[in-house]
Amino acid sequence: MSTVLILADFAGDKATKATVEIATAGAVIGEVTALVLAPVGKGAAHAASINQGPVTKVLVIESDDFTKHGVAACADALAHVIGQTTPSAVLVVSNAFGKEVAGRVAMKLKIGIITDAVDIASDCTATQLVFGGSTTVHSKVAEGTGIITVRPNTITANFAAASPSIENITAPISDSSKKATITSSQPPVKGGRPELTEANIVVSGGRGTNGDFASVEAFADSLGAAVGASRAATDAGWYPHSHQVGQTGKTVSPQLYVACGISGAIQHRAGMQTSKNIVVVNKDPEAPLFELADFGVVGDLFAVLPPATEGVKARKA
């Protein structure tokens, strides 16, 4: 049976939902081995948090170089483990960290890389959505063990409980990977809402909010959703740029995307048109975003959202 190596992704000491997603994707190809790169003393805790998804084995490497030298050291370790275990494929989460590690590993080992896959078949054919989600591409790695980065929230994770075997190993970190040192780092200030790119539901506000995001936030909170914004809203300073959805912001692909007071410029659509369900609330019946809507409301968001928020709360109560 072929094996698939995944690079586990963590938020703090916990494996993320994206880790379970790539494990689920990998299980289609073969048995999944998860690689955990942890600072000294944290390996056991990190490995123990991989308790969901089809993972049969966890390899743990503890080294303070991972926090001190970042992606370069992590790429060294991953490349070493690929050399040792010769998996059929390597899957990494498609975030900034994962993509950089994957790129470095591909160059080190001279193997092919595919980024931003949204699905993977049993023969390692990856599906990608390009040009802002308007075109579907199937690609395959032609050279060596393929390394594929998988976009979060595109694969339905299998959350079945797992009790993988855990093995501690070591990997050499080359001196050239220690040339840059991270002197300090600070986690982003987090609100009570889920991360935009990983959320199942995103509620976004645009120019139509006129700077008042209270209704948008209240509706998002009733659904347990992340809050996004259009460029018009972030440029006006109504909402932080880190929440911008679109070509120059974040690309999201949630189960449900609710656009409130967003007309739907092509740059915004590029960031959200792969969402499974799209709801549009806009006063302007001519807004181009209605073309994408599964459910559209022509009306003032300040009149529509509050009763909807109450309705959702009532339904959940």
Partner 1 sequence: MAAKKKTIDIRDFASTGAEFTKSWSAVIDAAPRPPRATGVVVTDDGSAGQKLVDFLSEKKLI
Contact set with partner 1 (CB under 8 A): 106, 110-114, 125, 129-130, 133-144, 146, 201, 223, 255-256, 273, 277-279, 281, 285, 290-300, 303-312, 315-316
Q: Is 189 exposed, middle or buried (0-12, 13-18, 19+ CB in 10 A)?
A: exposed
Quote the longest CA-to-CA distance of the chain: 61
Query: Rounded to the nearest whole angstrom, what is the least distance from the CB of residue 7 to partner 1 in the complex?
Result: 19
Q: Which one, 238 or 290, has the nearer CB to partner 1?
A: 290
Q: Which one, 235 or 310, has the nearer CB to partner 1?
A: 310
Q: Which one, 138 or 241, has the nearer CB to partner 1?
A: 138
Query: Rounded to the nearest whole angstrom, what is the least distance from the CB of residue 168 to partner 1 in the complex?
Result: 32
Rg over alpha carbons for the chain, rounded to the nearest Å, is 21
Query: Rounded to the nearest whole angstrom, what is the least distance from the CB of residue 240 to partner 1 in the complex?
Result: 26
Q: Which one, 134 or 242, has the nearer CB to partner 1?
A: 134
Q: Which residues, including other chains, have CB under 8 Å from residue 107's CB and lie 6 or more apart?
A: none
d(Cα 268, Cα 232) in Å, to the nearest integer? 10
Q: Which one, 159 or 240, has the nearer CB to partner 1?
A: 159
Query: Rounded to the nearest whole angstrom, what is the least distance from the CB of residue 65 to partner 1 in the complex?
Result: 28
* Sheet of 31-38, strands arranged across: 126-130, 113-120, 146-150, 89-93, 3-7, 31-38, 57-62, 165-169
Query: Rounded to the nearest whole angstrom, what is the least distance from the CB of residue 156 to partner 1 in the complex?
Result: 14
Contact criterion met (CB below 8 Å) for 271 and 249: yes
Query: Rounded to the nearest whole angstrom, what is the least distance from the CB of residue 290 to partner 1 in the complex?
Result: 6
Q: Which two tokens stand for residue 167?
A: 């093995």
Q: Which one, 160 or 303, has the nearer CB to partner 1?
A: 303
Contact criterion met (CB below 8 Å) for 60 and 167: yes
* Residue that is written with structure tokens 């470095």 in the block: 104
